[in-house]
Amino acid sequence: MPICTLHALPYRADPAHWFERIRHAPGAVLLDSGRPAAERGRFDVLSAWPLGMFEPGAGESADGFFQRLRQALEELGPASAPEHCELPFVGGLIGLLSYDFGRRLETLPQQAQDDTGLPVARFGLYGWALISDHRRQSSQLVFHPATPEAERRRLIELFDSTATGEQAPFELLGRFAADLSVDDYRRAIECIQAYIQAGDCYQVNFTQRFRAACSGDAWTAYRALRAACPTPYAGFVALEDGAIASLSPERFLRLNQSDVETRPIKGTRPRGHDERSDAAQAQALRASDKDRAENLMIVDLLRNDLGRSCRIGSVRVPELFALESYPNVHHLVSCVTGHLADGKDAFDLLAGSFPGGSITGAPKIRAMQIIDELEPTCRSIYCGSLLYVDVRGEMDSSIAIRTLLIQKGQASCWGGGGIVADSDWQAEYQESIDKVSVLLRTLEEL
């Protein structure tokens, strides 16, 4: 098996030091663990100048697109990490699936308007990456064996230099405003609860979008957001006319040597204003029968999704109702694991599980149909995924919540929550704002 070559760099906990050298390059992408403030993530992965870009063709099926991605990995060729070196990525695909890619996996009517123009999927094929391992406190360039020597020298010289990029300003040209009126939001929740009473579904994740006009450098916005809300599954994806800035706390799917893990979030409370009120909010979430029932419902859904691609009997729930706290909210998080079945790969796992059940509802297909009916615009990157799949078949992915799409002079952000039979629409409306308030407030104060 060909082995990747490495070039050691000084360790940096904050990947901005490295990424600012390439952020204007074609295909620049950063998968960011939020260090040093966030503590759960281990690796940062960044790259640019992809060998090729892949988007689904008009009418192309998910199976057809995934097969093209498999072929791209095969053409790049096999590679392995050097002995005794843990690397999450040794060359391969890095990109995104929008929530709306789910229409290529399931039969759904497209009723919502797509006014963003973002492709439903977009992947670059990368022959190199700069990876920081925060457990071992190392940063290094990783070159796939197919990377030409001249390209290796160019990248080594770039990252060994002391040059760093200048940070240009970013500003909003007005405050964020919701697309939905309060009355429209209330009517949508009432409609969902009527579907639940009729037996159509048990839970539907309903979302509203917030938008503001903006100008300037999306990277500056991301840096400010990252400082205000560090999270372990963050990411920045440069687009031709803007960027995706994601501050997600939620892992979607990780595939490591055939072991599968997903960590759904379901259950939220805002942080308190002082230590006592914050502890009370956390305890209220832990003790909430409603939130625990919602979380368990999604855990069962994900057990079923993983069962499509994992060995029979291998799916387990090693962690249930764990509390995770972030600068703006407390969350209930569970963990579902499995072992990939023989003959299955990362794309089979995605096909059987995307989009994540924590941001659709249950049962998944009926919930997605109701989302299409009631949400006036497509979700775009929101509730989609930022992810990589390397030539070994390793994968890690986020669910793109707490995520902004900044393009064409507009910043868009989404917030939502799971609606069940006894949901109070006013509380749900406030929760949708609580989840994104730190992001909106941070940009409004720049």
Read off the pLDDT of residues 153-184 as tens digits, 9 standing for 90 and up.
999 999 999 777 677 899 999 999 999 999 99
Q: Is residue 130 within 8 Å of 410, Cβ to Cβ? A: no
Q: Is residue 153 within 8 Å of 33, Cβ to Cβ? A: no
Mind telling me the catalytic residues?
A: 250, 266
pLDDT at 39 (0 to 100):
83
**How far is the C-alpha of 346 from the C-alpha of 351, rounded, in Å?**
9
pLDDT at 110 (0 to 100):
66
If we measure between CA atoms, which residue out of 320, 227, 326 comes closest to residue 281? 326
Q: Is residue 156 within 8 Å of 169, Cβ to Cβ? A: no
pLDDT at 165 (0 to 100):
67
Report mean pLDDT in 10-residue bins for the chain, 446 residues: 96 95 96 92 97 96 97 98 96 98 84 85 98 97 98 97 81 96 97 97 96 97 96 96 96 97 93 93 93 92 96 97 90 96 98 95 94 94 98 98 97 95 94 92 94
pLDDT at 114 (0 to 100):
83
First-to-last alpha carbon distance for the chain, in angstroms, is 50
Residues in the chain, total? 446
pLDDT at 111 (0 to 100):
66
- Name the residue ranges covered by the structural domains of the chain: 5-444
5-444 topology per CATH = Anthranilate synthase (3.60.120)
State pLDDT tens for residues 143-153: 999 999 999 99
pLDDT at 144 (0 to 100):
98
